[in-house]
Structure 1
């Protein structure tokens, strides 16, 4: 894994935590700015290290049309994080 400078390292760490928490690929890409290929590589590295990942690749497509603007992406992300922080479990592959 090529992680570059410290800003990039932070994105990789965030992506790793999100992958282990069960977030879907598209959400990880939106939140971290990593490419699809980079996230797939992260999954391969985690699986090689012995982690079990439960990915649900198709669940994002239905809701993809609901989030159009940058502001909507931020609001959706904040709501998901708030729900998770108060004890909710990721649902629908998120």
Structure 2
């Protein structure tokens, strides 16, 4: 029976080092921020990716993780959601 046998998994290389696979969409970042929504737009359910966003001048997907508060801007007719969300960058 061999000693020091390391069971190989999908995320462990031959040296036993843990590694990550690059997602085709890029690296995932996390942020707490207000997200503006038009009054008649759809708001994705918590935990679901949606790809209609631009962050730092880059088209991306976001996934809302937690909603903290809602606020309304009457003048601009926007609903702001204060939330924690993930987004892709690259």
| TM-score normalised by the chain length of structure 1 | 0.22
Task: Flag the structure with higher helix content.
Answer: 1
